[in-house]
Amino acid sequence: MDDLYIKKVLKGDTEAFRYFVGQYKNMAFTISMSVVKDEFLATDVVQESFVKAFQNLKNFKGKSKFSTWFYRIVINESLKIVRKKGEKYLDMETHFPNYPENEPSALALMKEDERRFYINETLNRLPASESLVLRLFYLNENSIAEICEMTGWTESKVKVTLHRARKNMERHLLKRLKSEAKTLI
């Protein structure tokens, strides 16, 4: 479907670019949040990323999926903001999968909300690279190869960062929740 809209935009139908905005804005925002840790900055990054993608669509070679190419732009723009601010750690707004179709009990909803809160809090404490790789791998379900393409990292760097991120996530959760962490992980 992306190819069809790319062709439309390249032929001069600028309104067709709305498809990409609708399709990718939410994920772009969460990726940016995992790096910049500020809603307003993340919104600016997403907007700037869409502008850059639109302006450079003619340079998209189609060697990867459009989403991979676009998310690379989002990551680069996010990292540019962070470098300007000189921050070491970044914030993350995490969107977990929807609740099951059958209606959960109030207790189950409270447990899920609490779980999200502690996971979010822990992700906020992780370095940007670890927060980003966890988000891309587990929540966005990108492959190692796709993450390499988006970030520009080597496969071994992605794997090491993912391993380190898992360990740090577990360590932070265990430290924060002690015995309760076992039920959350």
The predicted structure's pLDDT at residue 99 = 35
The predicted structure's pLDDT at residue 119 = 76
The predicted structure's pLDDT at residue 102 = 45
Instruction: Give the whole-angstrom CA distance, residue 35 versus residue 47.
Output: 15
The predicted structure's pLDDT at residue 131 = 87
Query: In 3D, which of 100, 89, 145 has the Cα closest to residue 122?
Result: 89
Instruction: Give the whole-angstrom CA distance, residue 106 versus residue 37.
Output: 30
Query: DSSP character for 99?
Result: P
Give per-10-residue mean pLDDT for the chain (185 aa).
88 91 91 86 94 92 87 91 66 38 56 74 83 86 89 92 91 75 53
- CATH number of the domain within which 133 lies: 1.10.1740.10
Query: Are 158 and 124 a contacting pair, CB within 8 Å?
Result: no
Instruction: Give the total number of structural domains in the chain.
Output: 1
Contacting residues for 158 by C-beta, under 8 A, at least 6 apart: 133, 144, 147, 148, 151
Range of the domain at 68: 2-184
The predicted structure's pLDDT at residue 24 = 93
Q: What is 82-126 written as a DSSP string?
A: HHHHT-SB------PPPPPSSPPPHHHHHHHHHHHHHHHHHHHHS
